[in-house]
């Protein structure tokens, strides 16, 4: 399949689903209808944001992803938790048949969704609402987002309905148009809105402020469709359109193209309507059949889990689970103290060889796909022990380079650890490592040579820093790496400045060796390399020329792998630009202070890199990356504790229930991975 790209018009499709198996399958149907019938330019798509409450399970998420990503290349689906709890009670004079959860839904589509960070900070121009039980029943004549932009519209809706909304009349009697004593409201399971209009219309913001004050929208029942109709009425400059030129369905009700109003039919007569549709309304049938088949599968399915899994229990019953599930969670002082005590206990490892007990067993999958790791350390033994404990498996191979200037007690402690097992090595030589100097590459080379000599079977190589934190279990790493088509993952961008060198070299006539040509490239020192690539690095004469030339330059490690991985003779090479982005370079999740995602960082920045703390767990846990950098135990060890627990639960579920959270299609479609498949 061809790769899907984002459209130039910045639109987003949003749904709010119930945490039920039925709603999950309806959501799948809705997504399929959008992807099949919403006319967009070839090979383009818009992202989906799926909001849910705390009862949403990992199986529901996996089911939605597996049933959609299987068919559409790089479809972008994000799952976002929304807090649907409140202490507000309905007014006794309000419509008490409208539950508080329904009122919270109305507030969501009136206010909450627009100010959620995923929408407010997402850079979108337009938002399209699609309910889980909504669907396009036939192909739209035009991309609706493009249509809105071309017509310079602020708001588009499919149809209207009528109800009496007294609370809005108490604000102003002219907020809504009326017909036969009822208010004309927008049937709000579908709308398109220009976000800039919503945020900047003074009249709209004044109305929303009134509805939110003292929780009026919750105390009194005010339907979100009526609120949206009032928004259009209060702003005299709004540009809105009734979008009737499209086939659209909601639940058991379908509107063909050019029908301006709904034809409401009872459930009993619904199947009669289908029969009529077969001859004269074939386009409707296409959408309805999909809907009914999905509905039937749900009602008859025996495969859905009948009780919460261990993962669901962890996410719903622990402080760590709360921090992982709920963005922007703030713990009170007692909870922070509890979390710190739990972390101290969890991170207190045995001082003898029992340290390796957890990793002493390995699955057949792990035994047949060993990995290799280098860890460079100069301080913070407790942090090193967490990293090693989390990634250690007897099937893998590890080399630990302890900085020559590290305390002797730290080196001796690591020697004692290494003496317990046969698959962890210390290089015979140690280097005094200084950031930005050639010694970084020297230490790395020593460990790579050790790993190449000591073991012949490992498949992939990671170079880790002591401040890294794993985001995937060992079996998840293997599952992902098997998809990589023997490709490396190395960032590389053209380096447009002069190569940074020490002053003595600038004054000399130092020239590149003949085998090295401009331009130079720059990237991250953190890499993922195949064994063949590591072997090539230590055998190839051109690589040796580059290695020797970089001796004496500033930050040579940022040029070394970025240059080598561009060369077509390098096993697993990628000759295109490969940026440190959140959607392409998967080896490391790192937030820089000059990047758009800097707003996610809660732990603060050191040397312009985010130091994650426990408030960052929600986006660490949902990241598709393999490792994250960086954490400091001196600031917050809870992030390591919670992520360690989260990985433990996933690892147990993988071995006991063959459970996996990995979306394989996402990794298959990465640019460098796809290139390897085409070779």
Kindly tell me if the per-residue pLDDT of 41 is higher than 70: no
* Sequence spans of domains, the chain: 5-300, 307-346+586-679
- Give the integer Cα–Cα distance in Å for 482 and 369: 9
Tell me the C-alpha to C-alpha distance, in Å, between residue 242 and each of 9, 153, 187, 247, 261.
21, 11, 11, 13, 10
Q: Which helix (H) or strand (E) holds 453?
A: helix 439-454
Q: In this predicted structure, which of 99-113, 306-320, 420-434, 594-608 has the lowest mean pLDDT?
A: 306-320
More confident residue, 369 or 297: 369
Contact 179, 210 (CB under 8 A): no
Query: pLDDT confidence of 166, banded at 50, 70, 90?
Result: confident
Give mean pLDDT, residues 239-255.
81
Phi, psi at residue 589, to the nearest 5°?
-95, 115
Task: Tell me if 564 sits within 8 A of 556, measured CB to CB.
Answer: no
Cα–Cα nearest to 134, from 163, 151, 157? 157
**ω into residue 519 within 30 of 0, thus cis?**
yes
Whole-number Å distance between alpha carbons of 217 and 227: 10
Q: What is the pLDDT of residue 496?
A: 62
Nearest to 346 by CA among 325, 319, 372: 319
Between the two ends of the chain, the Cα-to-Cα distance in Å is 16
Mind listing the pLDDT tens digit for each residue in 562-579?
A: 999 999 999 999 998 887
Higher model confidence: residue 490 or residue 82?
490
Q: What pLDDT does 633 receive?
A: 96
Confidence band of 186 (pLDDT split at 50, 70, 90): confident
Segment 242-251 mean pLDDT: 83
SS (H, E, C) 414-442: HHHHHCCCCCEECCCCCCCCCCCCCHHHH
Looking at residue 305, its pLDDT comes to 42
Residue bearing tokens 């022990």: 385
Q: How far apart (Å, rounded) are the C-alpha atoms in residues 629 and 44?
A: 32
**Res 499 pLDDT > 50:** no
What is the SS3 assignment for 359? coil
**Confidence bin at 97 (pLDDT 50/70/90):** confident
- 217 close to 259: Cβ distance less than 8 angstroms: no
Assign 178 a pLDDT band (cuts: 50, 70, 90). low
Instruction: Please say whether the beta carbons of 126 and 192 come within 8 A.
Output: yes
CA distance 582 to 232: 38
5-300: CATH class? alpha beta
Tens of pLDDT, residues 258-286:
776 554 444 344 344 434 433 333 333 33
Of the listed ranges 22-26, 153-157, 277-281, 562-566, the one predicted with least confidence: 277-281
Mean predicted confidence (pLDDT) in 442-460: 96
Of 80-84, 485-489, 502-506, 632-636, give the lowest mean pLDDT range: 502-506
The whole-number pLDDT of residue 188 equals 74
pLDDT at 295: 38
Q: Which of the residue ranges 82-91, 405-414, 563-572 would you say has the lowest mean pLDDT?
A: 82-91
Section 47-57 average pLDDT: 89
Residue 239: how many CA atoms within 13 Å on its side-chain side?
Answer: 12
Q: Which residues contact 486 (CB under 8 A, 6 or more apart)?
A: 530, 532, 571, 572, 676
Task: Show the DSSP H helices in 186-248 as ranges.
Answer: 195-200, 202-212, 216-219, 224-234
Do 82 and 51 form a contact (C-beta atoms < 8 A)? yes
pLDDT confidence of residue 283:
37
Distance of CA 631 to CAs 157, 477, 643, Å? Answer: 47, 20, 12
Look up residue 527 and give its DSSP letter.
-
Residue 419 pLDDT greater than 60, yes or no: yes
* Residue 124 pLDDT: 92
Higher pLDDT pick, 104 / 184? 104
* pLDDT above 70 for 552: yes
Q: Which of 97-106, 290-299, 365-374 has the lowest mean pLDDT?
A: 290-299
Residue 676 has pLDDT above 90, yes or no: no
Tokens of 432: 């005094």
Whether the pLDDT of residue 497 is over 60: the answer is no
Whole-angstrom distance, CA of residue 57 vs CA of residue 486: 34
Assigned token pair, 449:
């040579």
Percent of the chain past pLDDT 70, that is, above it, reads 86
Q: Is the pLDDT of residue 666 over 60?
A: yes
3-class secondary-structure state, position 249: strand
Statement: residue 490 has pLDDT above 50: yes
pLDDT at position 578, please? 81
Given a cut of 90, whether residue 665 has pLDDT beyond it is: no
Residue 104 has a pLDDT of 93
363: left (phi over 0), alpha (psi -120 to 50) or beta: beta
Is pLDDT larger for residue 535 or for residue 94? Answer: 535
Is residue 328 over pLDDT 90? no
Residues 222, 192: contact at Cβ < 8 Å?
no
pLDDT tier at 492, thresholds 50, 70, 90: very high
Tens-place pLDDT, residues 599-617: 889 999 998 999 999 999 9
Q: Look at residue 152 and tell me whether its pLDDT is greater than 90.
A: yes
Q: Return mean pLDDT, the chain.
A: 85
- If one compares 531 and 79, the residue with the highest pLDDT of the two is 531
């Amino acid at each position: 399949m061809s790769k899907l790209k984002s459209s130039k018009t910045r639109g987003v499709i949003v749904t709010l689903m119930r945490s039920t198996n039925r709603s999950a399958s309806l959501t799948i149907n809705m997504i399929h209808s959008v992807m099949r019938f919403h006319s967009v330019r070839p090979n383009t798509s818009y992202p989906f944001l799926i909001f849910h409450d705390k009862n949403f399970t990992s199986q529901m998420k996996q089911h939605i992803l597996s049933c959609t990503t299987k068919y559409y290349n790089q479809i972008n689906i994000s799952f976002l938790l929304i807090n649907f709890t409140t202490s507000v009670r309905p007014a006794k004079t309000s419509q008490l048949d409208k539950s508080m959860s329904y009122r919270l839904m109305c507030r969501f589509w009136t206010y909450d969704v627009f100010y959620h960070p995923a929408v407010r900070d997402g850079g979108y121009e337009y938002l399209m609402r699609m309910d889980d039980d909504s669907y396009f029943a036939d192909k739209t004549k035009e991309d609706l987002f493009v249509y809105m932009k071309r017509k310079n519209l602020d708001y588009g809706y499919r149809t209207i309905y009528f109800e009496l909304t007294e609370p809005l009349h108490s604000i102003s009697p002219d907020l809504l148009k009326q017909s036969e004593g009822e208010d004309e409201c927008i049937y709000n399971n579908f709308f398109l809105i220009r976000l800039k209009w919503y945020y900047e219309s003074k009249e709209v913001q004044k109305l929303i402020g009134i509805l939110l004050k003292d929780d009026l929208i919750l105390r009194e029942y005010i339907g979100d469709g009526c609120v949206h109709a009032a928004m259009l009425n209060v702003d005299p400059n709004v540009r809105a359109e009734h979008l009737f030129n499209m086939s659209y369905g909601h639940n058991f009700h379908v509107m063909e193209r050019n029908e301006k109003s709904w034809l409401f039919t009872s459930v009993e007569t619904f199947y009669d309507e289908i029969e009529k549709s077969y001859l004269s309304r074939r386009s409707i049938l296409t959408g309805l059949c999909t809907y009914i088949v999905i509905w039937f599968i749900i009602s008859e399915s025996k495969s859905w889990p009948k009780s919460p899994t261990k993962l669901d229990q962890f996410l719903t019953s622990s402080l760590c689970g709360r921090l992982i599930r709920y963005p922007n969670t703030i713990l009170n002082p007692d909870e922070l103290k509890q979390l710190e005590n739990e972390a101290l206990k969890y991170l207190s490892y045995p001082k003898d060889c029992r340290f390796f007990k957890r990793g002493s067993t390995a699955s057949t999958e792990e035994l047949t796909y060993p990995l290799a790791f280098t860890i460079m350390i100069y301080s913070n033994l407790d942090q090193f022990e967490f990293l090693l404990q989390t990634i250690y498996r007897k099937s893998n191979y590890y080399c630990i380079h302890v900085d020559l200037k590290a305390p002797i007690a730290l080196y001796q402690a690591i020697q004692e650890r290494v003496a317990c097992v046969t698959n962890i090595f210390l290089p015979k030589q140690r280097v005094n490592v200084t950031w930005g100097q050639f010694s970084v590459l020297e230490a790395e080379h020593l460990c790579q040579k050790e790993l190449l000599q000591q073991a012949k079977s490992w498949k992939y190589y990671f170079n880790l820093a002591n401040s890294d934190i794993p985001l995937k279990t060992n079996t998840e790493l293997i599952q992902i790496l098997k998809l990589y088509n023997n490709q490396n993952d190395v960032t590389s961008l053209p380096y447009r400045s002069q190569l940074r060198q020490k002053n003595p070299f600038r004054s000399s006539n130092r020239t590149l060796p003949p085998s090295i040509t401009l331009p130079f490239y720059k990237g991250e020192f953190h890499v993922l390399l195949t064994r063949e690539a590591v072997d090539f690095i230590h055998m190839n004469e051109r690589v040796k020329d580059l290695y020797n030339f970089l001796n004496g330059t500033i930050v040579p490690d940022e040029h070394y792998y970025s240059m080598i991985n561009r060369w077509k003779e390098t096993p697993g090479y990628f000759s295109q630009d490969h940026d440190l982005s959140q959607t392409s370079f998967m080896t490391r999740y790192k937030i820089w202070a000059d990047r758009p995602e800097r707003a996610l960082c809660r732990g603060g920045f050191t040397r312009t890199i985010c130091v994650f703390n426990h408030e960052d767990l929600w986006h660490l846990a949902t990241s598709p990356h393999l490792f994250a950098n960086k954490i400091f135990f001196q600031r917050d060890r809870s992030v390591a504790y919670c992520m360690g627990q989260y990985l433990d639960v996933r690892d147990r579920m993988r071995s006991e229930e063959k459970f996996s959270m990995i979306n394989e299609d996402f990794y298959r479609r990465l640019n460098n991975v796809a290139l390897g498949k085409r070779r």
